[in-house]
Amino acid sequence: MTTGSPWFRATNEPGPEPIPVDPYGVPSPYQEPAPYQEPAPSPYPEQAYGEPQQPYQEPAQTYAEPAQSYQEPAQAYREPEPVYQAPYEAPHEDAYVPPYEPYEAAEAPRPSPGDTTVLEAVEPLPGPGRAERRRAAKGGRGKSRRGGPPTTGAGTSPTDAPAAPLSRVEARRAARAAKDSVGVVASRAVGELFITFGVVMLLFVTYQLWWTNILAGQETDRAKAKIEDTWAQGDGNDDSKPGAFEPGEGFAIMYIPKLDVVVPVAEGISKAKVLDKGMVGHYSEGSLKTAMPSDQQGNFAVAGHRNTHGEPFRYINQLKPGDPIVVETRNAYYTYEMASILPQTSPSNVSVIEPVPKGSGFSKPGRFITLTTCTPEFTSTYRMIVWGKLVDERPRSEGKPKALVG
């Protein structure tokens, strides 16, 4: 460098002469630049001049692309291959042709948004033509006319094809094998028999315990109304004459106030004509003939059901000594008081209905009443006996006795 350069001249040397300024006020391009000056000291001595207070730093983490992105599934549908259709051939008369059932195509599952697996199409297999079915019915299992693999049945895929049609002999064997054995048929028949028997028994019990009471109630209502109408018209027979009433004919009405019993009394103890109709029967036949209420001496003995068919004597075991029993006839009311009870005796013990009944506690003749019924309940193994003694006789014209009025 030369010392004569104006930029590196010593400060004590005189500078060049100033370039004259254009008289029109335009500065000259050759003006001398201003002399160099040191920059002012920084107010922060710990930092260098011109450096930034903190240097720029790259961010700790940068944005990362996702590991997987959604991919559209590949197209799953494909066109089915054409199937050769052979001309129609009549089936052999011994061949078994099963009914053709078309195959329903399953719906292809839809992929989830994050699933990248390419799903294969679920395509229905083409069904066989009519000629293929006829050929299979004849028993042919060889190659098809197209030269493909041997057919195994109605389908074209060896893995999904159904079994080959059966011949008539094979169909008969299969039908015999599908039938139930003799033991199975017998056990099924026995089970059905027991079920039927149980249903019949249930219906019979319902009829005996419920329906017979309804029918007997209707019968007793009609019999009681008929007896009262006969008395009102004055056409009834005189109960004081022996043999005045026919078997099954009603002639009196019995009241047991404590048990709320009002039941007609008919002649005889026939089960079909009297007892099963809900009425009380008077012992009046053969060796079992007993007195009538109007007789001046004797035992008026009657029988009635304890269960079913109206069950008029079901609760006579609840009677206590002194409880009234009233018998109404055409001419009078006869009031008896309960005297004693025999809880159980044999059906063949006819001494309980004698004029002076044995076991009743009566020691001499009188005017008695005897009620007989079956025991225990719902059986006819034994008989229960209730005795009473006449305490009042009142003509019907004088009104009802005190036992009924109260």
CATH of the domain at 372: 2.40.260.10
Residues in a beta bridge with 341: 386
Asked if residue 304 belongs to a domain, the reply is yes
Asked if residue 202 belongs to a domain, the reply is no
Q: Residue 100 is which amino acid?
A: Y
Angstrom distance (rounded) from CA 317 to CA 338:
11
H or E segment and range at residue 369: strand 367-375
Model confidence band, residue 229 (pLDDT cutoffs 50, 70, 90): very high
**Would residue 309 show up in a list of annotated catalytic residues for this protein?**
no
pLDDT of 249 reads: 92
Angstrom distance (rounded) from CA 135 to CA 293:
101
Angstrom distance (rounded) from CA 105 to CA 123:
6
Asked if residue 113 belongs to a domain, the reply is no
Q: Which of 282, 306, 309, 383 is catalytic?
A: 383
**Would residue 168 show up in a list of annotated catalytic residues for this protein?**
no
**Residue 358, pLDDT above cutoff 80:** yes
* 32: number of Cβ within 10 Å: 12
pLDDT of 334 reads: 96
Asked if residue 57 belongs to a domain, the reply is no
Domain count for the chain: 1
21-30, 267-276, 312-321, 346-355: least confidently modelled range: 21-30
77-86, 179-188, 259-268, 378-387: least confidently modelled range: 77-86
Asked if residue 184 belongs to a domain, the reply is no
Q: Which of 135, 306, 367, 374 is catalytic?
A: 374
Q: What is the pLDDT of residues 363-377, one digit of tens each?
A: 999 999 999 999 999
Asked if residue 38 belongs to a domain, the reply is no
Q: Which of 135, 282, 305, 367 is catalytic?
A: 305
What range defines the domain where residue 239 resides?
Answer: 216-405
Cβ within 8 Å of residue 26, ≥6 positions away: none
User: pLDDT exceeding 70 applies to what percent of the chain?
Assistant: 63
Model confidence band, residue 395 (pLDDT cutoffs 50, 70, 90): very high
Q: Which of 99, 100, 117 is nearest to 108 (CA)?
A: 117
Q: What is the pLDDT of residues 114-172, one digit of tens each?
A: 555 544 444 455 555 676 777 766 665 444 444 444 444 444 454 555 667 778 888 88
- Does residue 158 or residue 199 have the better pLDDT? 199
